[in-house]
């Protein structure tokens, strides 16, 4: 199954790579739909899964059990707002872990650190 070039895939990837908003599949779909009315939601999902499988993007589990996507592969962590569902980047340096403790369990491919809470934007709205 040799991969063929696909304009759709390119659009989806470029959109994901060009935003810091950690969108969910549907948000990407809606954003690209306007320029491209024939775009199908399943195509977005299919390509996102492909990116993840290829290691070109990662999934971030968000609030409300919706998956968000991120094409930023540099070490960074996330803040997930339990109220609005937005995901923010947290610019920490990568954390060093006890490798021996992890080796006892398995081989780590990557890690995700997510802080859960209420973002300042929502906090202010709640006043």
Partner DNA sequence: AATTAAATTAATAATCATTATTATTATTAG
Partner DNA sequence: CTAATAATAATAATGATTATTAATTTAATT
Site residues (vs a copy of itself, CB under 8 A): 61, 65, 67, 79, 81-82, 88, 90-92, 95, 97-98, 101-102, 104-123
Contact flag: residue 41 with DNA (CB under 7 A): yes
Q: Which of a copy of itself, DNA, none sits in contact with 79, Cβ below 5 to 8 A by type?
A: a copy of itself
Q: How far is the CB of 43 from a copy of itself (least distance, A)?
A: 19
Contact call for residues 60 and 70 (beta carbons, < 8 A) = yes
Per-residue DSSP letter, 2: -
Of 12 and 62, the one with the shorter C-beta distance to a copy of itself is 62
Query: Which residues, at least 6 apart from 35, have a Cβ–Cβ distance to it below 8 Å?
Result: 11
x/- track of binding to DNA for residues 55-84 (CB under 7 A): ----------xxx-----------------
The single residue among 2, 100, 104, 110 that binds DNA, judged by CB under 7 A, is 2
Q: Output the DSSP codes for 48-99.
A: HHHHHHHTS-EEEE-GGG-EEEE---SS-EEEEETTT--EEEE-PPPPP--H
- Contacted by 4, from DNA, a copy of itself, none: CB < 5 to 8 Å by type: DNA
Tokens 């802080």 belong to 115
């Amino acid at each position: 199954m040799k991969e063929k070039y696909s304009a759709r895939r390119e659009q989806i990837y470029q959109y994901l790579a060009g935003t810091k908003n950690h969108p969910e599949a549907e948000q990407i779909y809606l954003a690209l739909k306007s320029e491209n009315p024939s775009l199908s939601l399943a195509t977005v999902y299919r390509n996102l899964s492909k990116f993840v499988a290829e290691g070109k993007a990662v999934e971030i589990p968000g609030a409300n059990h919706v998956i968000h996507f991120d094409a930023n592969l540099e070490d960074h962590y996330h803040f997930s707002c339990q109220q609005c569902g937005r995901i923010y980047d947290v610019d920490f340096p990568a954390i060093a872990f006890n490798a021996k403790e992890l080796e006892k369990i398995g081989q780590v491919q990557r890690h995700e650190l997510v802080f859960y809470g209420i973002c300042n934007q929502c906090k202010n709205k709640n006043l």
